[in-house]
Amino acid sequence: MNPAVLDRYEPVIGLEVHAQLATATKMFTAVPYRFGVEPNTLVDPVVLGLPGVLPVVNREAVAFAVKLALAVGGRIRHRSRFARKHYFYPDLPKGYQISQYDEPYCEGGAIEFETADGARRRVTLTRIHLEEDSGKNMHADAGANFSLVDFNRAGVPLVEIVSEPVIGSAAEAVGYLKALRQILRTLGICDGNLEEGSMRCDANVSIRPRGASKLGTRTEMKNLNSFKAVSDAIEYEIERQAGVLDAGGTVVQATLLWDPALGQTKVLRTKEEAEDYRYFPEPDLPPLEIPQAWIDELAERTPELPLALKDRLVASYQLTPYDAEIFMNNLELAPYFERAVSLAGGPAFGKKLANWILTELLGTFRDTGKLPVTAEDLAALVVMVEGGELTGRNAKDVFARLLAGERDPRALAAAAGLLGSVGADDGLEAMCRELMDANPAQVEKYRKGKTNVLGFFVGEVMKRTRGKADAAAVTALLKDLLS
């Protein structure tokens, strides 16, 4: 991005995100949905818009939508309404989409996220509404004169989250999207998979001269399906619009498609307003009623949100913000960590347990999605180390056996003769002096500046004590004796 462009112009960005709700069935019918199955096998008369069929609202989809509204602090309407949004496109079997227009189920709210410098940023929302998805066009290879349509996705429940035009850069847009995806995944209502289309983003971009208050003409980029695409497309469009204005031209309101191969946008259609869709209330559906008692019940089941979890882990267990963020981004790890802390005896063990999880278990978890060591065994292992019953070195040996599927770290350590520790009162200094007397050449090398020889002596002590000596204490003692 050319910095000179941002010196002259202020970008104004609003995002519209479609999130596919992870319900068992579609929005208005009992047909299930799964990604990647044989085309046109998950359809029925309602999905295909055949004459005489009637839609029925999916209660679970509404519950998921309410959970999202609660999580972002939106105002939930007790009575909202579905509408027909008309447009003609091959992947829309009815010729209209059932959506919500002037009476969405949720208004307001905000998404909070952290910027690259660690500051907190809040982006306010205009609304969230419920609707059904369209099908998917499948275009033939270049040179062919036809396309195919897969209606499997048609009718899948969506929430559309519409932000206010208050985002000021591509980086902020990506931060907002990542935070929103975390919230959706924490709530368990959407997997947030951009590549499979279960979360899709449209970006509205305009620019205005620095210091101006009037908004510029916006363009809308449709169906950006990765964080990189969002960033690249927004930055390209900011520079493109700046070039138009610098040349004395006028930005034309249009809907654009992003071509990642070419790294540029292309026009899909020109100016488009709400009246073009000919909205009117859906005659086949009554108003959507959401009682307060149901909202209260769902609120009780709404889990802790990602940033709140991060703040609590830092405050309660003295974790670094970096470590807490790893737990925030790997949802299954946080409850495992807190269970281990509870079993170990409380927050005092938090930092040590976090270190073991993030250094010894995180890689395995990311590769397999599983935690092969139980919270009970990890807690017991750390308690033994902190209580002086097991040295850090020997704990690693026991941990390797736990990783291999064995259980009960105390029994494993006892069977291997690893319990206990060797300290200064156990003849440790005498052992070090004996080693020095037996290796005068190594002592001389150390005293002439070859300090890497220290590792030889430490290793020999650890061998003689079968790892029961504290390596840090041995190192300090040897440094003192060798000097």
The CATH code of the domain that includes 451 is 1.10.10.410
Res 56: pLDDT: 97
pLDDT by residue (tens digit) across 27-55? 999 999 999 999 999 999 999 999 999 99
Tell me which DSSP letter residue 278 carries. Answer: -
Under a CB-based contact definition with an 8 Å cutoff, are residues 124 and 77 in contact? no
* pLDDT confidence tier of residue 434, bands split at 50, 70 and 90: confident
Per the structure, the count of domains in the chain is 3
Residue 258 belongs to what H/E stretch? strand 254-259
pTM for the full predicted model:
0.84
357-389 residue pLDDT tens: 999 999 999 999 899 999 999 999 999 988 888
The pLDDT value recorded for residue 169 is 96
Is residue 140 scored above 80 in pLDDT? no
Confidence of residue 142 (pLDDT cuts 50, 70, 90): low
Query: Is the same domain home to 288 and 381?
Result: no
What pLDDT does 174 receive?
97
Cα separation, 323 vs 91, in Å, equals 45
pLDDT of residue 310: 95
Q: What percent of the chain has pLDDT over 90?
A: 72
Q: How far apart are CA 75 and CA 377, in angstroms?
A: 45
Query: Do residues 312 and 223 share a domain?
Result: no
User: What are the DSSP calls for 390-445, one per residue?
Assistant: S-HHHHHHHHHHHHTT---HHHHHHHTT--S-B-GGGTHHHHHHHHHHH-HHHHHH
Q: Examine the domain organization and report whether 293 and 313 are in the same domain.
A: no
Closest CA to 198 of 365, 72, 36, 14: 36
pLDDT of residue 290: 98
CB 207 within 8 A of CB 245: yes
For residue 97, what are the β-bridge partners? 85
The mean predicted confidence, pLDDT, of the chain is: 91
Both 105 and 248 in a single domain?
yes
Q: In the predicted model, is pLDDT for residue 426 greater than 60?
A: no
Q: What pLDDT is attached to residue 421?
A: 59
Query: Virtual CA dihedral for 303, 316, 340, 310, nearest 10 degrees?
Result: 50
Domain shared by 384 and 445, yes or no = no
> Residue 322 half-sphere exposure, CB side, CA atoms within 13 Å?
3
Given 251, 281, 299, the domain boundary residue is 299
Predicted local distance difference test score (pLDDT) of residue 454: 86
3-state DSSP call for residue 28? coil
Give the residue among 140, 143, 151, 176 at the shortest CA–CA distance from 161: 176
Q: Is the pLDDT of residue 425 over 60?
A: no
Sign of CA dihedral 302, 305, 310, 312: negative
Return the DSSP state at 150: E
Which domain-ending residue is among 356, 381, 415?
415
The Cα 384–Cα 389 span in angstroms is: 5
pLDDT at 252 over 60: yes
Residue 446, pLDDT score: 85
pLDDT band for position 71 (cuts 50, 70, 90): very high
Q: Are residue 337 and residue 268 in the same domain, yes or no?
A: no
Q: Are 63 and 166 in contact (CB under 8 A)?
A: no
- The domain boundary, picked from 299, 332, 361, lies at 299
Range of the domain at 164: 3-299
Domain co-membership, 401 together with 459: no
Per the model's pLDDT, the better-predicted residue between 198 and 483 turns out to be 198
Q: Do both 447 and 361 map to the same domain? A: no
Task: Place 400 in a pLDDT band, splitting at 50, 70 and 90.
Answer: very high
362 to 319, 334, 337: CA distances (angstroms): 16, 12, 12
For 75, 83, 269, 327, the CA distances from 127, given in Å and listed in that order, are: 9, 15, 25, 30
Instruction: Please report, as a single letter, which amino acid is at residue 361.
Output: L
Verify that 225 and 373 share a domain, yes or no.
no
Same domain, 58 and 172: yes
Q: Are both 99 and 244 inside the same structural domain?
A: yes
Model pLDDT, residue 422: 57
Q: Is the dihedral of CA 408, 409, 412, 413 positive or negative?
A: negative
- CB 203 within 8 Å of CB 173: yes
Q: pLDDT for 76-129, tens place per residue? A: 999 999 999 998 888 999 999 999 999 999 999 999 999 988 899 999 999 999
Both 160 and 50 in one domain: the answer is: yes
